[in-house]
Chain A
């Protein structure tokens, strides 16, 4: 244990461990990618054919040619972005409130938020379904977005982060003649950017990958998100014949996530490593 914690160069067996680990992680992804690049007919009966050429982009052409897939992609983008923006706005405001304002029942409310952490979303899915049915919100963007805005974790996360920002900063800003909104907007909010990006990434990914609620709420295929849409096309008994196409869909669906990771890599690492506010 002590040896592996030492700083500096990794020993040879450390390298081997890393390479093996990376290979195990990457293998299914590479396999998926290879399958997606094969003609469907070639894969019937022998998926091992993916290991050798010829490779083709025809599956991707088919996806882009299918306007339903594009529609699902659009739905996923709208729902995920909507959820992310909504969560950031609500959690920032709630976090500021819990961290800085003094109002009646603040502690009680915060305790309720913490209790919310312990309630799995599955536990409330039936009443939630009924509520949305009553409100006529199924098969709509608000219907898909609203449940995602409820996040105990986000509120808790932003509250703790804002609490850690020294109060002296608020006070300095007050003496600088800043209104409460200016303090929130120009002083506190900019300092929470690392937390915001972490929360944004997690929320976006969670929303993008969510399957259950859109499956329940979106019953019309034009309101499917990508996850539900892709799953529905697996049900068409074409799995044996359409393996390459299916894999191309999976790759296609993960591109936005990949992009998000690449863009926010720095913030994610920084937020994970913990940033001191000073």
Chain B
């Protein structure tokens, strides 16, 4: 049985469509990350699942039971809010007990659940403090604790780490990963942070333009982006996507760029759309600045060099003006204005049809 199922979920705010026919099936105990640009409806969908927002259309089903008709408290989901939303006037213990009391769980049982959660989250010492007396990281734990004690079937986390500083965020990310082994429930986490999504999630759901663009495991999102949006959105710096002409022939597709360079891809010619207009996608790591002895695929003029320590990113322009991002070693000698040679690894290239659909090598 599936954990969570969404069927044809639609939502408009004051006539503006925010979600348009969202379908998604999540396995029980699966960790899902919602990734997408600001305003793409991630929080809205999360809130529809939680019952804080009503969908205009569609169904939400959790473990076989339709829940979109139930009030939030009866859905078997728990949510961790971006700003934690701890009750300021209640102690940590009371915060965690509130939901259980409303569910009329007997007092001894409540105490037991809180003790357990507090031990796991290492917040035993804090149980009698008020939220105002806690640090950001501690509040975060309490917010998670408040969700855990309810033993929900599904955790909903809306950018849970975005309020923490970089170091704490990394630590909490690790802890979330460990925690997730302990709880017997699915998790849906909204995030802006690709790295967070990549490390934590079993599958990533990429949102844009009112729709789900792709649902896939992290590496697949990266290596087989469904369309140009996902290709550009995931990966930093973004994939370069440049127009080219598909060459006649059979076997693997070959593409000629605007500046005349020919790139032999490892993508089968067969599945590609008809016509010669196509776009080619190149990640920076498959475009290398040539060194002595390398054979250059093409040449370009350096616009900007970004030195990241162990490697450098070279933003350059091909002869026909097309912008391309290349990678070089950390000791790169390239400077803006330089003419450089680029060696393009065609086998790592992606192709995109006129409608944006992505085509990839079979084994990638």
Contact = CB atoms under 8 A, between A and B. Distances in A.
Interface of A: 166, 168-169, 171-179, 182, 186-187, 190-191, 193, 277-278
Contact of A175 (B77, B83, B86, B132): B77
Given A171-B52, A171-B81, A175-B99, A278 B73 contact: no
Interface in B69-95: 71-74, 77-79, 81, 83, 85-89
A176 B73 contact: yes
Given A171-B52, A278-B132, A178 B83 contact: no
B102 A182 contact: yes
A191 B86 CA distance: 12
Nearest to A187: B87
Contact of B85 (A169, A178, A179, A190): A169
Interface of B: 50-52, 71-74, 77-79, 81, 83, 85-89, 98-99, 102-103, 131-132, 146, 150
A193 B89 CA distance: 10
A69 B132 CA distance: 48
Contacts of A191: 88-89
Contacts of A171: 50, 52, 72, 79, 81, 85
A123 to B, nearest CB: 40
Contacts of B79: 171-172, 175
B132 to A, nearest CB: 7
A194 to B, nearest CB: 11
Given A174-B52, A190-B89, A168 B81 contact: yes
A191 B85 CA distance: 13
Contacts of B74: 177
Contact of B78 (A173, A175, A178): A175
Given A175-B78, A177-B102, A191-B89, 15 more contacts: A166-B83, A166-B85, A168-B81, A168-B83, A171-B50, A171-B52, A171-B72, A173-B87, A173-B98, A175-B72, A176-B73, A177-B71, A177-B72, A177-B74, A186-B98
21 contacts: A166-B83, A169-B85, A169-B87, A171-B72, A171-B79, A172-B79, A172-B85, A172-B146, A174-B52, A174-B71, A174-B73, A175-B51, A175-B72, A175-B99, A176-B98, A177-B74, A177-B99, A177-B103, A178-B73, A178-B98, A191-B88
Contacts of B77: 175
A205 B83 CA distance: 39
Nearest to A168: B85
B168 to A, nearest CB: 19
Given A171-B81, A172-B85, A178 B102 contact: yes
B99 A176 contact: yes
B87 A172 contact: yes
Nearest to A176: B99
Nearest to A178: B102
Contacts of B50: 171, 175
Nearest to B53: A171
Nearest to B131: A278
Contacts of B78: 175
A190 B83 CA distance: 20
Contacts of A193: 89
A187 B99 CA distance: 12
Q: Max chain B CB contacts within 10 Å: which of A168, A190, A193?
A: A168
A22 B102 CA distance: 53
Contacts of A278: 88, 131-132
Nearest to B147: A175
A173 B85 CA distance: 9
A186 to B, nearest CB: 8
B99 to A, nearest CB: 3
* Residue among B52, B74, B78, B103 having the largest count of chain A Cβ atoms under 10 Å: B52
B129 to A, nearest CB: 15
A172 B78 CA distance: 9
5 A-B pairs closest in CB distance = A177-B73, A176-B99, A168-B85, A177-B102, A172-B85
Contacts of B131: 278
A186 B102 CA distance: 11
Contact of B72 (A166, A174, A182, A190): A174
A166 B83 CA distance: 10
A278 B132 CA distance: 7
Contact of B81 (A172, A178, A187, A190): A172
Nearest to A171: B52
A174 B88 contact: no
A7 B253 CA distance: 75
B159 to A, nearest CB: 12
A178 B103 CA distance: 9
B93 to A, nearest CB: 14
